[in-house]
Structure formats: C-alpha cells, structure tokens
C-alpha cells in the first residue's frame, strides 16, 4: 500500500498565507500526494506551482457550513474549474439533509457537478452531525446527483472521520462512487485503518507524519 497516493494534503486554515500554500504544494510534490486540499482563493496559484507534477488540486467550496445558496456554490465550482482545480470538495446542505429534503439536497449537489463538468466532486456530509439513516440518505443523494465521492467531514465541526462512518458509507455506495475519510487522521496507523474500512482517499493536514510512519 503506497499510502502517500491516498492523501489529500490539506491546509484550509483561515489564516493560511500564500507562503503556506506554496509550502503545501512543494510538500505534496515531494511526497507524491494525490492532491492538495485548499480554499478557493489559492487555486490558481496552486495550479501554477503544481503544473506538470502529477499532484492534483482539491478546491473546497461551500466551506465549511454548506448552508449558502446553491447558486453561490455553483459559482464557486465554475470559478474553481476556471482557475485550474482538478477536484472539488463541497459541503452538503446539512440542515436540508437532516430535515429529509432529499430533492433539495440532490439539486444542490447536481448544480455543483454541472457547473464544473469533468471535475470529480466530493460531497462532505459532516457525519458527526448526522445519524446513520441520514448518512445513508446523504450517500444516496450524492450518487443520484452525480458525485464522484462521499466524504465524512470538514474537520471544522465537532468530530472527524470514524471507522464506523467510513464503513457505513462504503457499504452504502458500493462501487457507485468513492469514499473519502477526513478529520482527525493523525498517523499512519489511523490512516491504514481508514483505508481498510473502505476509504479511497484521506484528507489530512498530517500527511508528512503519516508518510514518515
């Protein structure tokens, strides 16, 4: 298992500077991480710095609450594609999901998928705020809307990825889409456990520690 290829090397801090993002990109290039996961204002500069490296860019939109207008999320997605992103991580409308408004949730996700054609979209469910039934519905809604991944967490709420949630998401989506575990993954042991539970990708700011073993 080449664990580096699972990692979205992450810096989503509000106080991240351009120097921080450049360092993140250079670390991702050095270690062969899958992508860097960043806020949208850094996408264009990251695309330039990573050109030809084989490292992708996961731009986070509707982040971290997911509660903005669908049109705003779609605009962010289109801008991210124009700026050179290779993947998009979007936050689901959590309140609508909890309330059972699946039609809204599907439309919200589909608007992002359609605004950035050809760009894989990862849907962040924020599992720590959901029960198992809501997680299952969130997965089904994401698949119905054309998402490429379902993702556990933003890392900004009250909890991160758990093995239970990853396994539940994997069993729900099967091979119809992929699963990303994010939030609270600090070392190689935790990372491998998430992969064994069914994660295809890991979002973490501890990528260097993980590859160091």
Catalytic residues: 89, 151, 180
- Distance (Å, whole) CA 137 – CA 29: 36
The DSSP bridge partners found for residue 178 are 149
- Distance (Å, whole) CA 94 – CA 92: 6
Q: Is 52 left (phi over 0), alpha (psi -120 to 50) or beta?
A: left
Q: Is 56 left (phi over 0), alpha (psi -120 to 50) or beta?
A: beta
Residue 199 contacts residue 181 (beta carbons within 8 Å): yes
Question: Which stretches within the chain are classed as H helix?
Answer: 18-31, 43-50, 70-83, 94-98, 102-115, 132-145, 163-173, 188-197, 207-211
Q: Which residues contact 112 (CB under 8 A, 6 or more apart)?
A: 61, 62, 73, 74, 77, 88, 90, 121
The DSSP bridge partners found for residue 123 are 90, 150
């Amino acid at each position: 298992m080449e664990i580096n290829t699972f990692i979205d090397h992450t810096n989503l801090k509000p106080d991240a500077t351009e120097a921080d993002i450049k360092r993140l990109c250079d670390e991702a290039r050095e270690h062969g991480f899958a992508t860097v996961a960043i806020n949208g204002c850094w996408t264009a500069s990251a695309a330039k710095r990573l050109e030809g490296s084989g490292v992708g860019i996961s731009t986070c939109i509707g982040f971290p609450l997911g509660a903005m207008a669908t049109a705003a999320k779609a605009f962010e997605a289109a801008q991210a594609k124009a700026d050179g992103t290779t993947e998009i991580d979007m936050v689901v409308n959590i309140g609508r999901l909890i309330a059972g408004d699946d039609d809204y949730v599907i439309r919200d996700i589909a608007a992002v998928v359609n605004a950035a054609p050809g760009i894989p979209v990862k849907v962040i469910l924020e599992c720590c705020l959901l029960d198992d039934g809501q997680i299952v519905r969130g997965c089904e809604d994401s698949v119905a809307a054309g998402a490429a991944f379902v993702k556990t967490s933003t890392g900004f709420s009250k909890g991160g990825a758990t093995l239970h949630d990853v396994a539940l998401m994997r069993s729900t989506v099967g091979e119809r889409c992929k699963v990303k575990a994010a939030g609270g993954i600090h070392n190689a042991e935790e990372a491998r456990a998430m992969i064994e539970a069914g994660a295809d990708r890991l979002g973490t700011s501890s990528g260097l520690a993980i590859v160091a073993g």
